[in-house]
Amino acid sequence: MVCREIIRQLEQLSPPAYACGWDNVGLLVGRADQAVGRIVVALDATEECITYAVEQNADLIVTHHPMIFSPLKQMNDSSLTGRKMLLLAENKVACYAMHTNFDIKGGMAELAAARLRMEDTVPLEVTAEASGVPEGIGRVGAWKQPVSLRETAEIVKKAFDLSHVLVYGRMEAQIRTVAVCPGSGKSEVGKALDAGADVLITGDIGHHDGLDAVEQGMGIIDAGHYGLEHIFIEYMKEYLSRHLPPEAEILTWEGGVPYEIV
């Protein structure tokens, strides 16, 4: 099969039209007509990930985060992005990203809410509509029974296989209404407060974001950017395995949490 056939399948799940205006999704490197027999699914196209794909003779890398965000004036080995693009091109490995289009439609927040067993979920921030159904960033819903913020933290750790999370708020506060925004969710704090959430589960929360949320009556669980979004890898491998011919080989590059607590 060729690259454009795989892209067509990916875009049935998460059409690029749903991506935020600032985003950069789609085929970032490679030819749409190149043959693809082996695919690597990853969260990020790091240099290590690309090297792995080359070693495995892969033809395509499918990532969540785009490798290219800012405009490029040069493509050479003097920059990290340039080196990665050269490594891909020289080895005929294409790279396709599905970022906020997957967050909004497809999608990351639904997967996270399902793992957390949230009920009666709706988008946290509506950004689009599909056949009259609102779509958007994050989800807000409820637990079947209220639990403490401490217990909520343990639920998050178990659901996403994490060793730790950061918690802002009173640990014995009762949590019923839950908001989740995988990735970087500091911009969604206001939306979560407006939705009446008792807690926002997200990543990349700064010191003042956490303090301000608690002062306004909402706890925050910072599970890390990678911590909530690594679920993309397992899901996308399974999705491609179901929708591509049996001869297509799907590999994964986990990478792991990109830091250590010391």
Per-residue tokens: 260: 């250590």
pLDDT at 256 (0 to 100): 83
Q: What CA–CA distance (Å, rounded) separates 189 from 186?
A: 6
pLDDT at 107 (0 to 100): 87
Q: Are 175 and 199 in contact (CB under 8 A)?
A: yes
Q: What CA–CA distance (Å, rounded) separates 254 from 119?
A: 29
Q: What CA–CA distance (Å, rounded) separates 44 from 52?
A: 12
Closest CA to 64 of 104, 92, 32: 104
Query: pTM here?
Result: 0.95
Structural domains of the chain sorted by starting position, each given as residue range(s) with its CATH number in brackets: 3-102+230-253 (3.40.1390.30), 107-222 (3.40.1390.30)
- The amino acid that residue 64 corresponds to is H
Closest CA to 125 of 108, 139, 111: 139
Bridge partner list, 251: 40
Compute mean pLDDT per 10 residues along the chain, 262 residues long, and list them.
96 96 96 97 97 98 95 91 96 98 92 96 93 93 96 98 96 98 96 98 96 97 96 97 96 89 84
